[in-house]
Structure 1
Amino acid sequence: MFNSFHLQAVEAFKKSEYVQAKTLFLQAISKNPEVPETYFFLGKTCFLSDEKEEAIFYLNQFIEITRNVTTQENRSHAFDLLGQCYAANNKNEEAVTYYFAAIENDLSCVSARHNLGLSYMRLAQDYLESHLENCFTLLKNAHIALSSALELCADNPMLLHTAASWHEQYIDLLKKLSKDKRIQEDISVNFMCSIHYYREALAHCKKDDLMLIKYNYRKSY
């Protein structure tokens, strides 16, 4: 049962008043420490306040409390947020494990599939100058994750933008491999794919999101 502190905290959270929301969620926990949703919202509040370590603590508390609850709808979201916390600290290998946990809890979790692709791309970038085979494998994994996300949500501009970026990153890898005709043709194909996804992103995004996508679209040329 939610107490008044929890309900007030949720209202503050909805208004993006995260400092007040955090205070109220902590008061709610002190009154009733057995309500899992309070830990989830507190973890999310800390995440949005860029307090990643605290977010990790409270999200793990939520996951622990709900470990035997098979119908808890926020578990997938909590694992996804945990992955984002680790990714923000450049711990992408750890992030990947949490994204898989999120997907395992909810196969339709587009955000986790998208973020999984992003972490694989960041890991691949680390190998671009040192180990091309690892880079290729990680980019292949990223492509699988992003493709599965696009199958579920083909009109999300952020996801489309990431798909375009994937093709650009793959071009960087191809340029390292060889300069023979087949590779050059593959580069051309991926360049056109990148342009296609940037155009799709532009077609679906809101006015406030146009600037970054337009910049990257022009940069591709």
Structure 2
Amino acid sequence: MSEARRDELRANLADVRKRIEAACAAAGRSAEEITLVAVTKTFPASDVRLLSGLGLTDVAENRDQDAAPKAKACADLPLTWHFVGQLQTNKARSVAAYADVVQSVDRPRLVTALEKAVRDSGRTLRCLVQVSLDDEEGRGGVAPDGALALADMIAGADGLRLDGVMAVAPLGGDPAEAFARLAGIAADLRAAHPSATAISAGMSADLEPAIACGATHVRVGTALLGGRRAIVR
């Protein structure tokens, strides 16, 4: 593994952690409340190994065909794997075999498919309700007024654990306004499910307003790993 790449990732990781610390300080929060999730899509397993060696514990992927072999190649590492992309029901069994968390649960059929997959594998899968903060169907997410019903379904499913909510800021919109709306949805969900405290919001460009609005998880790709590149298998 390249020493130059290790140095690059170390510097990027330090910069992102400084941003998180500054955002937490401005919001009157502790940086220990924030889980940094590295979105490693399009990057090789070697980068995951380097990040793990630098102390990062959580990684995310958005395509099963890339995530499954990468998770297998890194199975010896102490990592929590998050699936954050739109998930087809026919991929539920594959994802349930390696993911610890599925952040993009957005419809009842997917809950049913994940429940069946986990039942077959014997694992417990942590799930977040992905909430749509815009009208872009291609980005996934349940409508805000359907979030609680979907959360109830997850909470009642065998082998699934409801952890909280996830969202992506609308394209061209105000992230602070969007994440404030998400915070309200998260509060309603916690009223019904007190243990579902996770709020996954904020990426490389908008992690600060997400933290100001209560995010517990930020999903960072470009700021950590650089511009997208082709995966080398």
Same fold (TM > 0.5)? no
Relative contact order higher in (CA < 8 Å, ≥ 6 apart)? 2
Say which structure is richer in strand. Answer: 2
Q: Greater helix share, 1 or 2?
A: 1
TM-score w.r.t. the length of structure 2 is 0.30
